[in-house]
Structures are given as structure tokens and as C-alpha cells.
Amino acid sequence: MSIITVATSTYDDQRPGTSGLRKKVVVFQQPHYLENFVQAIFNSIETCQGQTLVVGGDGRYYNRQAIQTIIRMAAANGFAKLIIGQGGILSTPAVSCVIRKYQTIGGIVLSASHNPGGPDEDFGIKFNGSNGGPATEKVTEAIFATTKSLEHYLSCDSADVDLDTIGSTQVLNTEISIIDPVSDYADLMEELFDFEKMRSLLSNRRFKMCFDAMHAVTGPYAIEILEKRLGAPEGTVMNGVPSENFGGGHPDPNLVHAHELVERMNGTEPLAFGAASDGDGDRNMVLGSGFYINPCDSLALLLDNAHLVPAYKEGVAGVARSMPTGRAVDRVAAALEIPCYETPTGWKFFGNLMDAGKITLCGEESFGTGSSHVREKDGLWAVLFWLNIVAERNQPARTIVREHWSKYGRDYFSRHDYENVDSAKASEMIEQLRTKLSTMAGQQVGDLTVESADDYHYIDPIDGSESAKQGIRILFTDGSRIVMRLSGTGTSGATLRVYFDRYEGDPFHVSHDPQKALADLIIAADQLAGISAFTGRQKPDVIT
């Protein structure tokens, strides 16, 4: 076999978003499209020669083919070793775990996260750095710049590698190591949590739970940890076998797409605890018996109860949340007298704070929570954290939440998603709203009065880097808030996300339906931005 230099022409649509490059499968199947982006990654890191790279994905359609391409290119570019999950499988948090454990130069994650999979659906690729976290904006900009000037890429004429057999083989001078995708991650979880206490909980016949893996990558991890290591009954994990098209479903763990789990939690004989994770295993949804636990509340509760978990019993350095995330965690941080940071949406912004030792826990409203054990959000970790708390407190999850509200008050929060909106119309709406921000203070909208409005601008406290236009914020004199931004995680059209939050400190008024508690803010958002007029929608596609 020999190295091949392949002439190529550039594509102009390869700018990575908040979670790498995501497109339809047919886009990645264009001649040289995937290869161009992979070569741009290799050209943008310090050096490939003699380095070790982790490669894995969520098992969606095109995952295996992409890995074979990456193997040939990595060998041609001089990597000494590739570590690849068996079957091409590695959850996103597991990639981070493996990068950190084996101290590699980084890893390539093949996933479009919570987006649908299949021949006509979505695929994605991103690079994680040596800390295990998503590449910084500096690196992603360098990758994009390289894609615009690339003239050739390197590959070789090797045969396909057997991805299903654990062991090592050789391509050119590169060792290809196929590893058990679950064991390193499962071992780490056993170090963090009190497995003995959780094993006692899950062996109690009165405590029945369900974990919905949504036919996605977390299935093997959940089966190994929940059923095999913690002794939960067989069948506790539903939809546990990864599928190239996620069983024909939408692998997003929310109240709409995880409907089978939601029905079981709200049926005539509801389970005590339920949870779900997404396509690549980095998101989570947790449910009590007949009770939805908002991700913003979940982060606050994890922080408030962190002392009950072995890994965090000595204290938490600080906490961070994404700007659109509800401010419940801020109140807990203030009570604990620890720093609380606000960052733009995107997990990479938490990485600098973690690497500098400023924070231990972090999270965002889009069903993502995590800690400094890896540099990615981690869905199964969050579920285990909850189970550890439930076991220690010997209380149902819903009771734990209600007691939290009685102590701290409740931050009502909701996100409204308008999916696949015409991109030009969505951008026009946001740009038009931006022109009004400087004159919005004092404006009356129903019974609400605008206190201030801006476009969030972030200066990283560690390296001083700046990120502009990270979301429009409208704050009202009663402390409530509306945030609007266009998401970078879709592959067609635009997704408009509108966030609402309001604090209620009276413990006698903290059990209302969030949509009712936020009704005036929902009306105000439409009046201020013209959402229905620009989108042509009378209601959002998804409410969480």
C-alpha cells in the first residue's frame, strides 16, 4: 500500500457550528467533501506525526464509511496510532474520557447529536482537542480557513479495517487499535459515584425505573452500568440497541420525542424514576413519577446536592451555565458562596473554565449537564448523579425538586423551538430586532416594562477571547427575561429558539404550569420580534 495525494476543489459551506460540521448525509457523500474537512482538521493541529488520535461516533448512517476514510487519511498523514471504538461506536462523553485517559492529541467525533439519522437525514463531524473538549473557536476558524484554500488531501490504498474485532492492526506505519467502547467510561463512572448505595436502591423492588436509550449510542453504556454493574432488572434499559436511523425516531430526549418514556412515567402505574439520552449520549432528560424535571432545575439540584456524591463531597470550585439557561443555579451558587459563570451556548466555552480550575459543574438548558470529569456534556453521568442523590436522600425525585423550590423559590423556564424556519426570514427578524435594542428600555408590552435589551457579548475570563452576537436578551423590570437566538445545530433551514424565565420566590405559588406562569412573556416576545409574522407559525414545533 502507498500514500496517495488526491487533488481536490474547495466547498464554501464547511464552517463548523457550535458542535462541528453538520449536514445531510448526501452532502457528505459528495466527492471529496468529507475528505476536505478531515484534511483541514489535520492541517490545523500542531502536528500529526507520531501522534495518537481517538475516533468514534454514535453509530448513525454513514458512520462506518466515514471511519474507513479517516483511517486511510490518518495513516497517510503520519499518525502513530488510532484508538477506535468497537463497531465504530464511542459516545461523545466517552470520546472525551478516552482522549483524557490516554493523553492523545485529540479525537474526531462522528455525530449529529440529537438530529435524526438515516440515508436522507443528518451526519456530523467535529474535532475535540487534547483536553477532551470541543475545539476552541480559534481552532474551528483555522479549520474553516483551511477548507477554503485546500488543493489536495492525503490518503492511501489500504483495504477496509475490521471495526468489529477488538485488537490491533496496521495501516502503513499507523497502529489501529479497536477497543471496548464502554469499559473506560464505565470504570470512570464507578470512580465518581457510590455504586454500592445505588446498587441497593436499584435492587429494591419498590423502586422501578426506566432508561430510554432511544436506539442510540448510550444503550450499551446504560446496559453495562445500570443492568450489569448496578443490578437493575434486565429490561430497565429500553431501546438499547444502537440503530443507523435510531429506530426511525428522533433521538432528542425531550417530552415530545421521548414520548414512550413519558407515557410510562405518567401512566396509571408510573415508575419512580425515568431518564433518556440522545443520539451521541451527551444530553439527558430526567423524570420523576408523573413529574418533568426541567434541565435548569436539574443543574441547580445537582449543585445543591453535590456533597452527597463521592466525587464532589469535598466541595465544588464553581459552576457555569449557558446564557439562555434559567438562573436557578445562580441562587444555589450564591447560597454556597461559590462563583457562578455565564457563557455563550456551546460546551467549548466551559472547557477554559474547567481547565483553569474555576468550575467543577456546568450545564445548559438544552438537556446538557456535566462536570470536570470530562470536557463534554454527559447524559448518563447526569442520570447516575440523580440516582446517587435519590439513594442518599431516600426520597422520590419529585419530592427532592419540590423541597428545592420551597427552599430557593422557583425559576419558571421554557424554551420554544421554531424548527426549519426559512433562513432568510429568521435572519431578517433577528437583524430587525437588533436595530431596536438601544431604544427598547422603558417600552411597555402589556403589563411588562422593558428594563434593558442587548445582544450578548462574551469575553472569556481565562484567555480574553471575545464572542459577539450570542443571543438577544430582553430584561424586564420585574426580573423576568426573554432570550432569542438562531441555533447552529440544524442542517436545513433555521431553528429559532426563544427562551423565557421568571422567578417566583413565594413557596405557596411555585407549582403552576410554566406555560401559564410565562404567558405574558410569550405574548410579549411575539409583539416585540414579530415571530408569527416572520416565521408564518402560530405556535412553536417543540416546547420544553
Helices (H), 119-243: 137-147, 183-192, 195-202, 218-222
CATH architecture of 185-408: 3-Layer(aba) Sandwich (3.40)
Q: What is the bridge-based pairing of β-strands 472-476 and 481-487?
A: antiparallel
Report pLDDT for 184. 98
Residue 526 CA to residue 462 CA, distance in Å, equals 37
Helix-strand-coil split of the chain, %, nearest 5: 35, 25, 40
Least confident range of 374-383, 402-411, 485-494: 485-494
Beta strands per DSSP E along 253-313: 273-277, 284-288, 291-293
pLDDT at 19 over 70: yes
Residue 301 CA to residue 289 CA, distance in Å, equals 17
Q: For 162-173, how does the pLDDT look when each residue is reduced to its tens digit (9 = 90+)?
A: 999 999 999 999
Read off the DSSP letter of residue 225: I
Please give the grid coordinates belonging to residue 318. 464553581
Confirm if 286 and 397 have CB atoms less than 8 A apart: yes
Report pLDDT for 267. 85
Beta strands per DSSP E along 379-493: 410-421, 444-445, 448-455, 458-459, 466-467, 472-476, 481-487
Q: Determine the residue type at 441.
A: A
pLDDT at 254 over 90: no
Residue 58 zone, left/alpha/beta (φ > 0; ψ -120 to 50; rest)? alpha
Q: For 179-231, how does the pLDDT look when each residue is reduced to its tens digit (9 = 90+)?
A: 999 999 999 999 999 999 999 999 988 899 999 999 999 999 999 999 999 99
Q: Determine the residue type at 86.
A: Q
**What residues are labeled active site?**
113
Residue 511 CA to residue 405 CA, distance in Å, equals 9
In angstroms, the Cα distances linking 126 to 14, 23, 133, 405, 481 are 11, 12, 10, 38, 33
Report pLDDT for 492. 61
Confidence of residue 487 (pLDDT cuts 50, 70, 90): confident
Residue 38 CA to residue 108 CA, distance in Å, equals 9
Please give the grid coordinates belonging to residue 21. 460540521
Identify the CA nearest to 63 among candidates 243, 317, 304.
Answer: 243
In angstroms, the Cα distances linking 302 to 68, 137, 183, 332 are 40, 29, 25, 10
Confidence of residue 15 (pLDDT cuts 50, 70, 90): very high
Q: For 88-146, how does the pLDDT look when each residue is reduced to its tens digit (9 = 90+)?
A: 999 999 999 999 999 999 999 999 988 999 999 999 999 999 999 999 888 999 999 99
**Whether the predicted model's global pTM rises above the 0.75 cut:** yes
Same fold, 185-408 and 410-543: no
Confirm if 316 and 303 have CB atoms less than 8 A apart: yes
In angstroms, the Cα distances linking 331 to 183, 337, 410, 412 are 37, 10, 10, 13
Q: For 424-470, how does the pLDDT look when each residue is reduced to its tens digit (9 = 90+)?
A: 999 999 999 999 999 999 999 999 999 999 999 999 999 999 999 99
Q: For 199-210, how does the pLDDT look when each residue is reduced to its tens digit (9 = 90+)?
A: 999 998 889 999
CATH number for the region 410-543 comes to 3.30.310.50
| Mean of the per-residue pLDDT values of the chain | 95
Confirm if 380 and 221 have CB atoms less than 8 A apart: yes
Residue 281 CA to residue 370 CA, distance in Å, equals 12
Confirm if 394 and 201 have CB atoms less than 8 A apart: no
pLDDT at 373 over 70: yes
Report pLDDT for 72. 98
Confirm if 246 and 258 have CB atoms less than 8 A apart: no
Q: For 380-423, how does the pLDDT look when each residue is reduced to its tens digit (9 = 90+)?
A: 999 999 999 999 999 999 999 999 999 999 999 999 999 889 99
Beta strands per DSSP E along 180-248: 209-212, 237-238
pLDDT at 490 over 90: no
- Grid cell 466517552 is found at 94
Determine whether 302 is exposed, middle or buried from the number of CB atoms within 10 Å of its CB (0-12, 13-18, 19+): buried
Residue 172 CA to residue 153 CA, distance in Å, equals 16
Please give the grid coordinates belonging to residue 330. 445562580
Report pLDDT for 489. 54
Report pLDDT for 309. 98
Helices (H), 45-194: 63-76, 92-102, 137-147, 183-192
* Backbone torsions φ then ψ of 110, nearest 5 degrees: -105, 100
CB neighbourhood size of 485 (10 A): 22
Identify the CA nearest to 382 among candidates 292, 274, 302, 293.
Answer: 302
What's the distance, Cα to Cα, between the start and end of the chain in Å? Answer: 53
Please give the grid coordinates belonging to residue 226. 445500570
Q: What is the bridge-based pairing of β-strands 237-238 and 448-455?
A: unpaired
Identify the CA nearest to 344 among candidates 431, 437, 471, 455.
Answer: 471
Report pLDDT for 161. 98
Residue 117 CA to residue 397 CA, distance in Å, equals 32
Residue 350 CA to residue 352 CA, distance in Å, equals 6
**Bridge partner residues of 3 (DSSP):** 156
In angstroms, the Cα distances linking 540 to 415, 474, 488, 516 are 9, 19, 18, 16
Cα dihedral 375, 380, 385, 387, rounded to 10, equals: 180
CATH topology of domain 3-181: Alpha-D-Glucose-1,6-Bisphosphate; Chain A, domain 3 (3.40.120)
Q: What percent of the chain has pLDDT over 70?
A: 99
Q: Determine the residue type at 162.
A: D
- Give the domain ranges of the chain: 3-181, 185-408, 410-543
